[in-house]
Structure 1
Amino acid sequence: MARGYSAKIASNAYIVGSFACIGGGLFGLDISSMSGVLNNNAYFEVFNHPAANPQGAIVASMPAGSFVGSLAVASLADKIGRKKTIILSGWIWVIGSILQCAAQNRGMLVVGRIISGFAVGLASTTVPLYQAEITAPAIRGRIVSLQQWSITWGILLQYFVEFGCSYINGTASFRIPWGLQMIPAIILSVGMLWFPESPRWLIDHGREGEALQILADLHGRGDPQNELVQLEFEEISQQVHFEKTQGAKKWSDLLQPGIFRRVGLGASLQMWSQLSGMNIMMYYIIYVFQGAGLTGRRGNLIADSVQYVLNVAFTVPAIVYIDKWGRRPMLLTGTLLMGMWLCLVGGLQGRFGAWGAVEGSDSPVWVINGHEGVTRAIIVCSYFFVCSFAITMGPVSWTYPAEIFPMKVRAKAISLSTAANWLFNFALAWAVPPGLSNIAYKTYFVFASFNFAAFIHIFFCFPETKGRTLEEIEEVFAQGHVFTAWKIKKDVGVKTLEDLKANKKDEKEYVDEKASDA
């Protein structure tokens, strides 16, 4: 078999899984490409000083495109493969970046952002899918979590580029950062040519020889006869064969008993990640600190950058320990902490704030004046909120949906889950500026309530999935504990090497029996 990628690269699952994360970085680049221009005079002059509602629409145009892109993955990822879909997303992003960089009015800017959003939708859906299918269970959470880390790096790097360019007079202050966004996408699309396709997708398309060699490179140091590689190959093959006997892949498959429940879990977790309030702190952090009484363009930019640095730094422990801590504890802890910090921010804003004028805003805003201690407290609570999201909900919201679906519906189900993310991202990106303009500090209590609701939902309905193969997770959801997820034992579905060897014959007979019945 001709192998079109370096053996050294292909033998390292960390390199293979982490390189694709550049696709997540594109999402991060877009977030700070907007937040970094919200106090840029050149931006406001070119785009006719957008008020709260038009500015929300400009920001929301990207997640609108991402919503469509994430749904397109359902067909693309199954037809052309995970790898080619990621490559395609990079080139589409380049087109969107060119239009944004050259934008002369709001319409052109919105079109560019929609196209870039479509690319982000493709990448953000396909990358976790690809990572989950090429990694071993022991490191799967760690690898998929890199998607979130790459998002935080994209936010941070783009923000500092915009910070530096803000000292340039004229439109170059925002056009240069928007143009530089193309570089990571080009690296992603070109670099992915040297990386392997998902072995599960290859088996599903009758390319077993390539799939076996890729599994050997990733999990068996290049030896196709490695015992664990052979067992993994057989397990995937039998699962794919069994699913094929059940009929063609259709959207209606998502409504089947057992699968529909998981679609709900994946989509709702992505929904909760958006309703946590992280959008406020990423897209509109300048508005948040402005309302807290932080004045001065330079001081605001520095305070914002600290938040983005913390976002990157506190994602690292989650990546390292997600496969040790587990998904449930991280989600439960994170939602409680985020709800608490938002209550504190809202309470301080409500107690010490009032409607007033601030520099750079044409309309009154809810702002704190003359209370430096309160201003500092709100900034610190905002930092703690971001840290809480980064170390819990952020990474798990990408990992969990990528690992709970069977092969037959995985692309469509993850596509739908990620579409939920972008649907709520779109709604909140548009709604938050008018929300802050109209109900002010009460906005924070709304998002705090969402976090507490998420805690209840996760506690009752989300079973633990750490340490299990994608095939073993089927056993976890086969138990039927719909509202008693905490009762599922930690060792359910987990097989030792000896268990796999002992049960392999029985599994094969079971699959053959089901196939003959069909």
Structure 2
Amino acid sequence: MGFKFEKPPMYLWYALFVSQAGLLFSFDTGSIGPITVMDQFIKDFGHISPTLQGVIISTILLTAAISSLFAGHLADKISRTYTTSLGAGIFALGSVLQAIAGLGTTSVRAKLAVLLLGRSIAGIGEGFFLTSAQVYIIEIAPGHVRGRVTSVLFIAMTTSLCLGYFMCYGTARIQSTMAWRIPFLWQAAVASSLSFGSIFLPHSPRWLLHVNRRDEAMVVLEKMGMGTAAEREKQALLAIRENLATQEDNNRGIKSILSAFRSLKLVANKRNRWRASLGIFMMICQQTTGIDGVLYYAPVLFSQAGLSSQSASFLASGVTAILMVICTAISCTYADRWGRRPTLLYTGYGIVLSMFLIGGLYASPNANTTVGKWTIVAAIYLFVITFTIGWSMILRVYAVEIQSMETRATVNSLSHSANWVTNYIIALTTPVFLARSACGPYFFFGGCTAFALFIYILYMPETQGIGSLENMDKVFEITPLKKFGKTIKERVGRPGNGTGSVLPSEFEMQVC
């Protein structure tokens, strides 16, 4: 019997193309920190203080947070694909401005103004394309492989993060301003590709039903090649069609701003607010682990840990990125086998352990010993591994997939905005925080993660194995805390030894 090659379904190819959004997002994360410490960059822009470094790095996050507030509503109105195209085009413009900063002028102030303007514009585009791209991929993926299909976005993120570090490691050897301009030019090229190509992508079937274009939705489902999964998706989509169509009829003729307020009202109603609050909270807590503080300032952190040369710091940062690629691949392989809840909880314990270990070493004299320095480096790697396996991909998938169709894009934009605002604060303050206290940031990040774990234990139900996105309503009928209380109440009230005091079994006491 000969080997038979099975052609990948079209929805996977579409997901791979849209995953360029992840390339752009993480490439900037991986490259901007190394760029600001390049000798060629410092020669052009002068000595960079910790505060100025924080401003340069975090500017893109502030404007991304603002634009992402409108991304969900825009994605509902003009589609996920067109919003992605618009955002990528804006990002390309911002990247070009960053690449040409300093040309034709010797004024450091003028150079900084163009650089910051470019990062501000790029942030506006990032807020649009990243949120809409993630919703698009989740909505086109069949339920039984949603975790693995969505993982292509996160593989792109970690791969591009690695590429950002190593591209800067290579271009740093160029003895001209091209050393720091090339990464920005690469971003502009990828963003242009995403912007142009997204125009020709088929719309999300769920969005087509959302705007009452049922026939097109059925055609797209077949075009995406979901096979037997397509029929299951059809039934789920048809079940919600009438409700969505009615919503659209009610909105017809109402001004866009009023429709946006209606979306926020839907988020706040009793049926949706628990899921919306949990999704937003999770995206905030993803940043309070300190991950982007580590990624943006990896060269600084490794230098502080004892790797003094620029090459050694860059190389250590690149090893961090390689670890993230490997761990993302592991997470993607088992995304639909491991439970969402246990994966987030167990990796969360690893994050807390690594952060408290680093903080404790810096608070003691051992940080200055050879063993202490290498233990800190190992703990940074432990943090990166545990974060990437759990909180990098699975947390983002969970925060989006638990939302109802009517609020998914809106909540996703709100949660990304909250994520970027938190990221902005951390990116802006981390270098100043590190300059004043070597241990303080790590204790802070570890404490925030411990608090998040406590909330997850009480209020985060398991969603692994839920086929259709529309079935999430049943999952969120009762919180793990209420389920635990109900189990205790039923067990205590059950006839046993005559006292009604029989304790629940070990299995029943699991809050999962």
Q: TM-score range by the shorter chain?
A: 0.7 to 0.9
351 and 256 in structure 1: CA distance in 2 versus 1, 3 angstrom threshold: same
Paired residue for 1:467? 465
Instruction: Check if 1:258 corresponds to 2:267.
Output: no
Q: Distance in 2 between matches of 1:299 and 1:481?
A: 48
Q: Distance in 2 between matches of 1:306 and 1:482?
A: 39
Q: Distance in 1 between matches of 2:137 and 2:483?
A: 26
Unpaired runs of at least 5, structure 2 = 1-5, 103-110, 252-258, 488-512
1:228 to 227, 232, 247: 232
Q: Does the CA-based 8 Å contact 2:236-2:470 persist in structure 1?
A: no
Is 212-221 or 93-102 further displaced after alignment?
212-221
Instruction: Check if 1:337 corresponds to 2:350.
Output: yes
326 and 245 in structure 1: CA distance in 2 versus 1, 3 angstrom threshold: farther
**CA drift at 1:119:** 1.6
Is 210-219 or 27-36 further displaced after alignment?
210-219
208 and 383 in structure 1: CA distance in 2 versus 1, 3 angstrom threshold: same
Give CA-to-partner distance per residue, 1:359-389, whole Å, 9 cap, x none: xxxxxxxxx55x2222221111111110111
Instruction: Check if 1:73 corresponds to 2:71.
Output: yes
Is 182-191 or 395-404 further displaced after alignment?
182-191
Q: Distance in 2 between matches of 1:485 and 1:326?
A: 18
Describe how 1:421-432 pairs up with structure 2 within 5 A.
421-432=419-430
Q: Does the CA-based 8 Å contact 1:212-1:233 persist in structure 2?
A: no
220 and 74 in structure 1: CA distance in 2 versus 1, 3 angstrom threshold: closer
Instruction: Check if 1:321 corresponds to 2:334.
Output: yes
User: 1:284 is aligned with what amino acid?
Assistant: Y
Residue 37 of structure 1 aligns to a residue whose secondary structure is helix
**CA drift at 1:68:** 1.5
Computed over aligned residues only, the root mean square deviation of the Cα atoms, in angstroms, reads 2.3
Give CA-to-partner distance per residue, 1:235-273, whole Å, 9 cap, x none: 242452465588764322221102111111011000110
Describe how 1:156-167 pairs up with structure 2 within 5 A.
156-167=162-173
242 and 488 in structure 1: CA distance in 2 versus 1, 3 angstrom threshold: farther
**CA drift at 1:291:** 1.1
Q: Does the CA-based 8 Å contact 2:66-2:417 persist in structure 1?
A: yes
User: 2:63 is aligned with what amino acid?
Assistant: G
13 and 344 in structure 1: CA distance in 2 versus 1, 3 angstrom threshold: same
Paired residue for 1:237? 241
220 and 450 in structure 1: CA distance in 2 versus 1, 3 angstrom threshold: closer
Q: How many residues matched?
A: 464
Give CA-to-partner distance per residue, 1:466-496, whole Å, 9 cap, x none: 222111001222x23274477899xxxxxxx
111 and 141 in structure 1: CA distance in 2 versus 1, 3 angstrom threshold: same
Q: Distance in 2 between matches of 1:120 and 1:463?
A: 31
Q: Does the CA-based 8 Å contact 1:56-1:431 persist in structure 2?
A: yes
Residue 273 of structure 1 aligns to a residue whose secondary structure is helix
Give CA-to-partner distance per residue, 1:270-322, whole Å, 9 cap, x none: 01100011112200111111111111122112111101100111011111211
Instruction: Check if 1:200 corresponds to 2:170.
Output: no
Describe how 1:383-462 pairs up with structure 2 within 5 A.
383-462=381-460
Paired residue for 1:185? 191
Paired residue for 2:139? 133
Q: Distance in 2 between matches of 1:308 and 1:302?
A: 10
Paired residue for 2:97? 99
**CA drift at 1:422:** 0.5
Is 176-185 or 141-150 further displaced after alignment?
141-150
2:222 to 205, 216, 220: 216
Residue 270 of structure 2 aligns to a residue whose secondary structure is coil
Instruction: Check if 1:170 corresponds to 2:168.
Output: no
Residue 62 of structure 1 aligns to a residue whose secondary structure is helix
**CA drift at 1:102:** 1.0
Is 458-467 or 35-44 further displaced after alignment?
35-44
1:269 to 279, 282, 295: 282
Q: Distance in 2 between matches of 1:245 and 1:460?
A: 39
485 and 96 in structure 1: CA distance in 2 versus 1, 3 angstrom threshold: farther
User: 2:471 is aligned with what amino acid?
Assistant: E
Q: Does the CA-based 8 Å contact 2:32-2:296 persist in structure 1?
A: yes
Describe how 1:39-58 pairs up with structure 2 within 5 A.
39-58=37-56
Paired residue for 1:347? 360
Give CA-to-partner distance per residue, 1:152-183, whole Å, 9 cap, x none: 11211122111111001131110112111112
Q: Distance in 2 between matches of 1:16 and 1:327?
A: 25
134 and 9 in structure 1: CA distance in 2 versus 1, 3 angstrom threshold: farther
209 and 106 in structure 1: CA distance in 2 versus 1, 3 angstrom threshold: same
164 and 252 in structure 1: CA distance in 2 versus 1, 3 angstrom threshold: same
Q: Does the CA-based 8 Å contact 1:88-1:189 persist in structure 2?
A: yes
Q: Distance in 2 between matches of 1:316 and 1:10?
A: 18
Paired residue for 2:108? none
Q: Distance in 1 between matches of 2:333 and 2:485?
A: 26
User: 1:95 is aligned with what amino acid?
Assistant: L
Q: Distance in 2 between matches of 1:241 and 1:464?
A: 30
User: 1:199 is aligned with what amino acid?
Assistant: P
User: 2:47 is aligned with what amino acid?
Assistant: H
486 and 110 in structure 1: CA distance in 2 versus 1, 3 angstrom threshold: farther
Paired residue for 2:323? 310
Residue 50 of structure 1 aligns to a residue whose secondary structure is coil
**CA drift at 1:94:** 0.8
Give CA-to-partner distance per residue, 1:190-234, whole Å, 9 cap, x none: 33234210111111222211100111233544x99x743542342
Residue 373 of structure 1 aligns to a residue whose secondary structure is helix
Residue 203 of structure 1 aligns to a residue whose secondary structure is helix
Q: Distance in 2 between matches of 1:218 and 1:28?
A: 28
